[in-house]
Amino acid sequence: MESIENALYLVATPIGNLADISYRAVHILNSVDLIAAEDTRTSSVLLGHYNIKTTTQAYHSHNIVTQTSKLVDKLKSGMSVALISDAGTPGISDPAYQLVNACIENQIRVIPIPGAAAFISALIASGLQTQSFVFEGFLPHKKGRQSKILALKEEERTIVLYESPHRIHKTLQQLAESFGDRRCVLARELTKKFEEFIHGTLTELAERFQTQSVKGELVLLVEGNIKRKNKIRENKYKNDIE
């Protein structure tokens, strides 16, 4: 296996099933000087499972400013650091961006170690168009929410969102009101025991989850604005033959 460099390694970890980690990721986590983890207690399950004894340190949204500069100092002194999040790929709706930029500014090498990301697994099995898509992460909870939804209404690519169980009904309802009825898929508990893909339209799913609760981790995928896409194509065809 590769020798460890004085670098920041961005290591993807499983999104549920502990077997979904690469040999390379385990090697890196075993070999670096320090693992910066979003939640050291959460990550201790994964690290324990693979018998990884590397020292961990917390790196999360509440200590991001102080910890970014401390980690940069450690990297500048020659250490190797792996950054992991609670699940999936660091930087995808998880802290990493600031540390990555601080490393780039300080000429510290940043090395990605690829692996699971919930939105990719959800998208590929959704049956929705995968050729082009837009990943929005979590919609804003309050400020900017409505304008984001309005902007997404015209989006022709498949729209991929992260959502929590207690907000999913509200989100489905607001999207149905704004977009009109459109095909969508709710991907739940990916790679875990109760993995499920719920297919329907925005209205159907909004109605279903008005009375029924949904548990676990969720990815919501909505078909792009196909009518708009077809209209643009029709107009182009018209212009071409005129």
Q: Which residues bind ligand SAM (CB under 6 A)?
A: 15-16, 85, 87-89, 92-94, 117-119, 162-164, 187, 189-192, 217-219
Which of helix, strand or coil describes residue 83? strand
Phi-psi category of residue 78: left, alpha or beta, with phi > 0 → left and psi -120 to 50 → alpha: left
CB of 88 to ligand SAM, least distance (A): 2
The DSSP symbol for 101 reads H
- Nearer Cβ to ligand SAM (102/125): 125
Residue sitting closest to ligand SAM (CB)? 88
Query: In whole angstroms, how large is the CA radius of gyration of the chain?
Result: 21
**Least separation, in Å, of the C-beta of 15 and ligand SAM?**
4
Q: Which is nearer to ligand SAM, 18 or 151 (CB)?
A: 18
Structure tokens at 181: 């009825």
CB of 67: closest distance to ligand SAM in angstroms? 18
Q: Which is nearer to ligand SAM, 32 or 218 (CB)?
A: 218
Closer CB to ligand SAM, 25 or 187, in the complex: 187
Min separation Cβ 10 and ligand SAM, Å: 11
Q: Which two tokens stand for residue 119?
A: 């939105």
The Cα 53–Cα 75 span in angstroms is: 20
Output b/e per residue, 86-106; b: 16+ Cβ within 10 A: bbbbbbbebbbeebbebbeee
- In this complex, which beta carbon is closest to ligand SAM, that of residue 117 or of residue 176? 117
Helix, strand, or coil here: 213? coil
In whole angstroms, the minimum distance from the beta carbon of 164 to ligand SAM comes to 6
Minimum separation from the CB atom of position 75 to ligand SAM (A): 22
CB nearer ligand SAM, residue 136 or residue 217: 217
Contact partners, residue 212, CB within 8 Å, separation at least 6: none
